[in-house]
Chains A and B, each alone.
Chain A
């Protein structure tokens, strides 16, 4: 039984990381109908920003909560700026183009950032343990303090984000733009600014995700975003792309699936699980768990 519980905790903490990245995907897709392939690299850049900032400030192991908070904020801020910049330079000129072309551009940006990071900073850098980690043992199950933090932060963010989208003016603008860009523009909504804001927000979430990720896996590497990003995207689709609670639920479900398959079936198939899940979902319920069925009009 403890084995099952331990794997449950493992799966949930893994899922929580995916959730933070998935939120960014879902928000951008909701507004622009674009799979932002570069999102996983924004995540990776956030990790590098955190690493470089901590290094510049000379913070090493045990630097404390204050340092950690500062690093987290820097990560989120840099990601937000990076996300907005990418949108401005690479995606905005493509708005009139086909979705296929936008997707290709996103892929190009993604590859560029990966290789840029490789060239500038190299591979396999270690992030310091800013906050001392504690392990609690509850009912024979090991729970790491950072897993609890990740889960907590994700839940808070999910609630905050849902409130933002449903109850605030900017949220209303985002929803309007996702419905119809032209109509929103006609209604006087500053479309460009809204889209920029969406990117900034989604990217900042990736930055937060990167920081929390580093607490559990303190390794910074240009390739670190590729797989988690892809799996987070699968999670977003699973939950219904465009839906905030969907992204979180989808991510947790995916994390659990991956962990249980790895634990009870075979760990060599671990990577394939996410894709199998994706394929099954897209074949039988393309709108995902929480999504709405969108009818394509001609």
Chain B
């Protein structure tokens, strides 16, 4: 069990390092740099979730941004209307997104490839439309249940409180956005969540579950013939992916202080998809790398901002033709480093 002990130790060391940096280095760091670090961290969290769904389980999800929206709005509401503290709010955001993932996944995951793509896209749009219509939802709830007042018969009070809770929950501001979210996201929390995401996903993928995911991706029918409930496997991956999208969305809400429905449109889902594909579906470090690069790159190409999407798109097409497995393919960064190391220092067999 020495490996496990080292693992735990490393995790604690990493956490300490993150918070150490947060307390002692960040206050003296250029705010632009900090801003970019946070954006990279948030993007990587979201993309890792998608990598699990797309790369490892082979499910073509084009609605990832929708789950980010669920996370963002629910965590914001929890914090502002129900007084939940920030770290818990982010967790709740992720959980709500996970539930949304379940709701979307169960009906959709019977479908394959192209159809799944369009259906998830559709759900993404539906979530956006729902948020935009939150105003009329609140009005309807208020009309139906009344709102709680100090006086009134007990039944009215109960219904009223329920109505109050529901309407507080539903008051998402519609197209006008949800503003006034406290500015809580900092280096410490963003990177803590990033560490958690990468560690849990890494361990999940190394476990037998991970092999099941890959099996479903490679040949679903064969896997099913082995007696494995593939739908359940797919839904599990989907829910986990949605959870991390929700966490990323929550962190975004507390970073920008205001969120709008069109920040989570299907365009964003497609960009996230591009990051996974370019990084290598079948790898975790690949998408992490490509997400980091693609978030930072526009900052260097500020002059080329108009061409950014065109360059992305071209990259996507060229990659698919020339190197369809993506940057790292199914290998992990550690594999690449290891391979390089081996080539430099080959192990000599005893004579």
Chain A residues proximal to chain B, CB less than 8 Å: 34-35, 90, 93-94, 97-105, 107-112, 114-116, 119, 230, 233-234, 237, 266, 268-269, 271-272, 274-276, 278-279, 282-283, 286, 296, 298
CB neighbours (8 Å) of A237 from chain B are 115, 118
Q: Is the CB of A272 within 8 A of B317?
A: no
Please name 28 pairs of A and B residues whose Cβ atoms are closer than 8 Å in the assembled complex, sorted by A. Answer: A34-B114, A35-B117, A90-B321, A101-B320, A104-B274, A105-B321, A107-B274, A108-B315, A108-B320, A111-B313, A112-B310, A112-B314, A115-B307, A115-B310, A115-B313, A237-B118, A268-B129, A268-B136, A271-B129, A272-B125, A272-B126, A272-B129, A275-B122, A275-B123, A278-B118, A282-B108, A282-B111, A286-B111
Query: Given A100-B113, A272-B129, does the pair A298, B221 have CB atoms closer than 8 Å?
Result: yes
Is B121 an interface position by the 8 A CB rule?
yes
**Chain B residue with Cβ nearest A270:** B129
CB neighbours (8 Å) of B136 from chain A are 266, 268
Q: Is the CB of A35 within 8 A of B129?
A: no
Complex Cα gap A27–B122 (Å): 22
**Shortest beta-carbon distance, A103 to chain B, in Å?**
6
Query: Given A35-B114, A279-B119, A283-B107, does the pair A104, B129 have CB atoms closer than 8 Å?
Result: no
Q: Which of B111, B125, B310, B321 contacts A93 (CB 8 A)?
A: B321
Complex Cα gap A108–B309 (Å): 10
**Shortest beta-carbon distance, B250 to chain A, in Å?**
24
Chain B 303-320 per-residue mask, 1 if CB under 8 angstroms from chain A, else 0: 000110110111111001
**Shortest beta-carbon distance, A57 to chain B, in Å?**
29
B107, B136, B274, B324, most chain A CB atoms within 10 A: B324
Q: Is the CB of B317 within 8 A of A112?
A: yes
List 13 additional contacts besides A108-B274, A109-B313; criterion CB under 8 Å.
A90-B321, A100-B58, A100-B60, A101-B324, A108-B320, A111-B313, A234-B118, A266-B133, A268-B136, A275-B121, A275-B125, A282-B111, A286-B115
A105, A110, A234, most chain B CB atoms within 10 A: A105
Complex Cα gap A269–B117 (Å): 21
Query: Given A268-B133, A268-B136, does the pair A233, B313 have CB atoms closer than 8 Å?
Result: no
A35, A104, A276, most chain B CB atoms within 10 A: A104
Q: Is the CB of A111 within 8 A of B114?
A: no
Q: Which of B108, B119, B129, B222 contacts A298 (CB 8 A)?
A: B222
Chain B residues proximal to chain A, CB less than 8 Å: 58, 60, 107-108, 110-111, 113-115, 117-119, 121-123, 125-126, 129-130, 132-133, 136, 221-222, 270, 273-274, 277, 306-307, 309-310, 312-317, 320-321, 324
Q: Is the CB of A99 within 8 A of B270?
A: no
Q: Is the CB of A103 within 8 A of B270?
A: no
CB neighbours (8 Å) of B60 from chain A are 100, 103
Question: Which 9 pairs across A and B sit closest by C-beta, in order of nearness?
Answer: A275-B122, A108-B316, A112-B313, A111-B313, A108-B317, A115-B310, A115-B309, A272-B129, A105-B320
**Chain A residue with Cβ nearest B271:** A111
**Shortest beta-carbon distance, A259 to chain B, in Å?**
17
CB neighbours (8 Å) of A272 from chain B are 125-126, 129-130
Complex Cα gap A99–B115 (Å): 11
A-B pair number, CB within 8 angstroms: 116
**Shortest beta-carbon distance, A293 to chain B, in Å?**
14
Q: Is the CB of B113 within 8 A of A278?
A: no
**Chain A residue with Cβ nearest B314:** A112
B60, B132, B312, B313, most chain A CB atoms within 10 A: B313
CB neighbours (8 Å) of A110 from chain B are 313
Query: Given A97-B320, A105-B320, A109-B317, does the pair A268, B132 have CB atoms closer than 8 Å?
Result: yes
CB neighbours (8 Å) of B310 from chain A are 111-112, 115-116, 119
Complex Cα gap A104–B55 (Å): 13
Query: Given A108-B314, A268-B136, A296-B221, does the pair A279, B122 have CB atoms closer than 8 Å?
Result: yes
Q: Is the CB of B313 within 8 A of A94?
A: no
Complex Cα gap A115–B108 (Å): 31
CB neighbours (8 Å) of B58 from chain A are 100
**Chain B residue with Cβ nearest A283:** B107
Query: Given A94-B320, A111-B270, A111-B309, does the pair A269, B314 have CB atoms closer than 8 Å?
Result: no
Q: Is the CB of B321 within 8 A of A94?
A: yes
CB neighbours (8 Å) of A282 from chain B are 108, 111, 115, 119
**Chain B residue with Cβ nearest A99:** B113
CB neighbours (8 Å) of B221 from chain A are 296, 298
CB neighbours (8 Å) of A279 from chain B are 107-108, 119, 122-123
Q: Is the CB of A97 within 8 A of B115?
A: no
CB neighbours (8 Å) of B110 from chain A are 283
CB neighbours (8 Å) of B115 from chain A are 237, 282, 286
Q: Is the CB of A119 within 8 A of B307?
A: yes
CB neighbours (8 Å) of A102 from chain B are 320
**Chain B residue with Cβ nearest A280:** B107
**Chain A residue with Cβ nearest B114:** A35
Q: Which of A35, A104, A266 contacts B273 (CB 8 A)?
A: A104
Query: Given A99-B114, A272-B125, does the pair A104, B320 have CB atoms closer than 8 Å?
Result: yes
Q: Which of A100, A105, A275, A283 contacts B317 (CB 8 A)?
A: A105
**Shortest beta-carbon distance, B313 to chain A, in Å?**
4
Q: Is the CB of A278 within 8 A of B317?
A: no
A109, A115, A274, A286, most chain B CB atoms within 10 A: A115
